[in-house]
Amino acid sequence: MKILPKLERKLRRLKKRVIRTSLVRKLDLVHESARKKAFQESCDNYKNQIENEYEIRNKLPKMARSGREAFLSDGSFHQAVGRVLLVAEFFAMMPVKGVTGKHPSGLSFSWRNIRTCFSLLFIASSIANFGLSLFKVLHNPISFNSIKPIIFRGSVLLVLIVSLNLARQWPQLMMYWHTVEKDLPQYKTQLSKWKMGHTISMVMLLGMMLSFAEHILSMVSAINYASFCNRTADPIQNYFLRTNDEIFFVTSYTTALALWGKFQNVYSTFIWNYMDMFVMIVSIGLASKFRQLNDDLRNFKGMNMAPTYWSERRIQYRNICILCDKMDDAISLITMVSFSNNLYFICVQLLRSLNTMPSVAHAVYFYFSLFFLIGRTLAVSLYSSSVHDESRLTLRYLRCVPKESWCQEVKRFTEEVISDEVTLSGMKFFHLTRKLVLSVAGTIVTYELVLIQFHEDNDLWDCDQSYYS
């Protein structure tokens, strides 16, 4: 029976070996201090954060009063995007039913719905208008500048058709968003729930207001212009003859046609602005989901977490990636139209900026419009690249996992974050990252320098030229 204790001791040693040799243990003590400091730091950060949140919460009541119902937000994308889609429906896009409902299961698309009919009607009307523009452009010498109306109306038409198709997929997409959101680590405060919706509303509001201001300025300048190049005695008729020259190129003036043209212009301008804003809003939504995950990771940064914690986070990360992929498939045509449009329009506008303006009204409108265009393009680029930035941020927290809890799951998570390229894209031809901004800027400068050589000053603002957009 004396051998048995010996055997037992051997077993014990075997176990020890698996866990930790005594040498390693001593060396670990050296490391322990470093880890403790890191933990201390993360604790401090945590406390600071809690304090900050407390302060903000105390400051909030003032805001809260003016937006109490906003505070009942559950932080879902469906709810945040509701009013945005409502506006879109008013402008004949995205004919989905139930966009302002509490739950995405209330969403539905039907061909017989009044929204869909309105949308289809407007598409038909737009096709007619596009045909008229095409007819006029082809009957004049073609240049980089003269194809502007086709590009404008063509891309609006394309976006309309894509948005109709998107509307059919929307209920499903929102259900998937809902599943992903439900699974994510919950928001800690009402404030963080409220944030995404607030940003989306602000972007939409600002975009709409600037777009409206631009339209007003464009009208002022057009009236100015029309009175200068007056073809008839009626100033209103002059105005419509100018701004809808593609209609009155084939037919004579009637008030009904003029009103149809005006309606068409207002709606097209909105849709042209809306596509940029839509890309921004989807980007904000996706980036905020990654942020929600990252916030949770930051809270536990540097701490020893169980492998299941990491595997859970990894699956959540994966789900957001899949969501991102699905959304990209759904809207990437809109993204491409939006980017190529902005690229073309900035080139044209910069080229026009070389001209001397006929009046102050023109100058104000022109520069406002140019800076709005550049600002909008920059905003789309930066918001959409923020999805990629947020998705990479996760890596920062994974780098700080202490070596004790570095396990298979953390490794797998890290490798996935490194190797995946989570971005929105333009039909997969280009990916929306910050580096894209620079290359777009470089392309604009290069093309501009070459285009200037074809430029002749006085053929852009004469009375025979197509004026509006």
What residues make contact with a copy of itself under the rule CB under 8 A?
1, 3-5, 7-8, 10-11, 14-15, 23-24, 27-28, 30-31, 34, 38, 183, 306-309, 311-312, 315, 318, 321, 389, 395, 399-400, 403, 406, 408-409, 411-412, 414-416, 418-419, 427-430, 434-435, 437-438, 442-443, 445-447, 449-454
Minimum Å gap between C-beta 50 and a copy of itself is 20
Closest approach of a copy of itself to the CB of residue 90, in Å:
35
Amino acid at 210: L
**Of 55 and 421, which CB lies nearer to a copy of itself in the complex structure?**
421
Q: Which residues contact 69 (CB under 8 A, 6 or more apart)?
A: none
CA nearest to 280, candidates 369, 172, 192, 207: 207
Closest approach of a copy of itself to the CB of residue 396, in Å: 8
**Cβ closer to a copy of itself: 73 or 319?**
319
Tell me how far, at minimum, the Cβ of 426 lies from a copy of itself, in Å. 8
Report yes or no: 414 and 314 within 8 Å, Cβ to Cβ: no
Instruction: Give residues with Cβ within 8 angstroms of 78, minimum separation 6.
Output: 103, 104, 107, 174, 177, 178
Looking at the Cβ atoms of 34 and 114, the one nearer to a copy of itself is 34
CB of 326 to a copy of itself, least distance (A): 12
Closest approach of Cβ 201 to a copy of itself, in Å?
Answer: 27
Query: Which residue number, 142 or 250, has a Cβ lying nearer to a copy of itself?
Result: 142
Residue number with CB closer to a copy of itself (176 or 212) = 176
In terms of phi and psi (left: phi > 0; alpha: psi -120 to 50; beta: otherwise), the region of 140 is beta
Between 93 and 321, whose beta carbon lies closer to a copy of itself?
321
CB proximity list for 435: less than 8 A, separation 6 or greater? none
Among 143, 144, 390, 137, residue whose Cα is nearest residue 287: 390
> From the CB of 388, what's the least distance to a copy of itself, in Å?
10
CB 286 within 8 A of CB 386: no
Q: Which is nearer to a copy of itself, 11 or 86 (CB)?
A: 11
| Least Å from the CB of residue 133 to a copy of itself | 19
Rounded Cα distance between 261 and 270, Å, is 14
Asked if 194 and 334 count as a contact pair (C-beta separation under 8 A), the reply is no
Which pair of structure tokens corresponds to residue 114?
A: 């009044």
Q: Is the CB of 234 or the CB of 404 nearer to a copy of itself?
A: 404
180's tokens = 């992903």
Judged on CB neighbours under 10 Å (0-12, 13-18, 19+), 85 is buried
Mention every residue, 6+ apart, whose C-beta is less than 8 A from residue 72: none
User: Smaller CB distance to a copy of itself: residue 238 or 425?
Assistant: 425
- Kindly state the smallest distance separating residue 419's Cβ from a copy of itself, in Å: 5
Q: Which is nearer to a copy of itself, 262 or 352 (CB)?
A: 352
Taken in order 332, 177, 192, 81, the sign of the CA dihedral is positive
Min dist. Cβ of residue 450 to a copy of itself (A): 4
Alpha-carbon 275 to chain mean position: 9
Phi and psi, residue 356, nearest 5° = -85, 135
Q: Strand, coil or helix: what is 99?
A: coil
Compute the least distance from the CB of residue 239 to a copy of itself, in Å.
Answer: 31
Nearer to a copy of itself, 180 or 284 (CB): 180
Q: What are 182's two structure tokens?
A: 């439900």
Distance separating alpha carbons of residues 101 and 104, to the nearest angstrom: 7
- Tokens representing 128 are 């007619």
Q: Which of 275, 422, 268, 285 is nearest to 337 (CA)?
A: 275
Q: Quick one: 17 or 65, whose CB is closer to a copy of itself?
A: 17
Q: What is the DSSP letter of 142?
A: -
Q: 111 near 119, Cβ under 8 Å? A: no
Residue 424 DSSP class: -
Neighbours of 441 (CB within 10 A): 14
The H or E element spanning position 421 is: none
Q: Closest separation between CB of residue 414 and a copy of itself, Å?
A: 7
